[in-house]
């Protein structure tokens, strides 16, 4: 359901930001036009029945494939296993039958090899110079502030929404940094700036929206709770969650940009 919900959110965003037609959206996302109309009408995908699947034929051989891929992490590149070589070894050494197809092995190896490389520390970092077109990007975070309420010094949390191009910042203070404050802060910021960033909003620590982090993937995907996905779909913006960052550097950057000292 969450994958379809994310697809609906992307369709709604492209319709609003890019102005794509139903036909263009159907072509881009490789879905039926009926699906596009459903997404534009309601951010919540309709329920659909999924047929029961039998146990995959590859399951008994996954451990053997993983062992080959792990061996590849320390082998010269030219000696690394191809999917066809892995299939041959499964047949010769592990009694795999003809029912195990090359395409099944290939699809598993393509995904699993990337995961093994990351788990083995073979990840390659790529640094790209940042450019921030007007109205395209923003950043969101919470900072700790102390205010006097009824004569008592009280710790509160400041929601900060910062536009990457202009440096304009919107600040709202809440008693907590829970999801209610998180979502309300966005609405306040959208109202104050009179619009919504067209590219994405960046989050370094999306604790109030993220249910869990999926480790071992190459695209830094998170599992978001449904209320947050529906919120993004309604307003039509994308969330960008960096894979890694220097928290000390980010705190200094935030203080320079928005005047808020971020703790945590």
Q: What is the CATH number of the domain that holds 191?
A: 3.30.420.10
pLDDT tens digits along 1-30 = 457 888 888 898 888 888 899 999 999 999
Q: Please check whether residue 130 lies inside any domain of the structure.
A: no
146 and 115 belong to one structural domain: no
- Residues 215, 170 contacting (CB under 8 angstroms): no
111 and 190 fall within a common domain: no
Q: What's the pTM value of the predicted model, to 2 decimals? A: 0.49
Whether 167 is covered by a domain: the verdict is: yes
Tell me, yes or no, whether 232 lies in a domain: yes
Least confident of 42-56, 78-92, 141-155, 158-172: 42-56
Six-digit token pair at 104?
A: 């099944």
Q: Considering Cα of 27, then 31, then 34, then 36, what sign does the dihedral take?
A: negative
Assigned domain for 234 exists: yes
Going by C-beta distance under 8 Å and a sequence separation of 6 or more, which residues neighbour residue 173?
145, 147, 156, 157, 158, 159
Say if residue 73 is in the same domain as residue 110: yes
Report the DSSP beta bridge partners of residue 212: 223
Look-up: residue for tokens 């209320």? 227
151 with 82, same domain: the answer is no
**Residues whose CB is less than 8 angstroms from the CB of residue 129 and which lie 6 or more positions away in sequence, other chains included:** none
Instruction: Name the DSSP class of 47.
Output: P
* Number of domains, the chain: 3
Mean pLDDT of 38-60: 71
Q: Encode pLDDT of 136-195 as tens digits.
A: 899 988 888 888 888 999 999 889 998 988 888 899 999 988 888 899 999 999 999 999
Are both 19 and 93 inside the same structural domain?
A: no
Containing 17, the helix (H) or strand (E) segment is: helix 2-17
Q: What's the CA gap between 31 and 17, in Å, rounded?
A: 19
pLDDT over 80 (residue 54):
no
Residue 252 shares a structural domain with residue 158: yes
For residue 10, the enclosing domain spans 2-41
What span, in angstroms and rounded, lies between the C-alpha atoms of 43 and 231? 9
Q: Which of 16-20, 77-81, 116-120, 133-137 has the lowest mean pLDDT?
A: 116-120
- Residues 189, 143 within the same domain: yes
Q: Which among 13, 237, 199 has a CA at the least distance from the CA of 25?
A: 13
């Amino acid at each position: 359901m969450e994958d379809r919900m994310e697809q609906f959110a992307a369709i709604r965003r492209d319709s609003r930001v890019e102005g794509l037609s139903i036909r263009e959206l159907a072509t881009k996302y490789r879905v039926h036009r009926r699906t596009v109309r459903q997404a534009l009408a309601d951010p919540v995908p309709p329920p659909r029945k999924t047929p029961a699947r039998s146990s995959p034929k590859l399951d008994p051989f996954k451990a053997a494939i993983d062992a080959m891929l792990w061996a590849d992490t320390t082998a010269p590149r030219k000696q690394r296993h191809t999917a066809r070589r892995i299939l041959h070894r499964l047949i010769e050494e592990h009694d795999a039958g003809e029912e195990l197809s090359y395409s099944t092995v290939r699809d598993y190896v393509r995904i699993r090899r990337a995961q093994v490389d990351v788990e083995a520390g073979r990840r390659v970092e790529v640094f790209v110079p940042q450019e921030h077109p007007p109205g395209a990007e923003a950043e969101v975070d919470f900072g700790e502030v102390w205010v006097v309420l009824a004569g008592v010094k009280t710790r509160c949390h400041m929601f900060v929404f910062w536009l990457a191009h202009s440096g304009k910042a919107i600040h709202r203070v809440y008693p907590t940094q829970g999801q209610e404050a998180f979502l309300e802060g966005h609405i306040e910021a959208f109202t104050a700036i009179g619009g919504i960033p067209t590219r994405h909003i960046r989050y370094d620590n999306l604790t109030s929206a993220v249910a869990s982090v999926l480790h071992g993937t190459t695209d830094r995907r998170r599992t978001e709770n449904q209320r947050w996905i529906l919120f993004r779909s309604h307003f039509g913006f994308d969330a960008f969650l960096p894979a890694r960052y220097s928290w000390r550097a980010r705190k200094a950057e935030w203080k320079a940009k928005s005047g808020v000292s971020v703790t945590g």
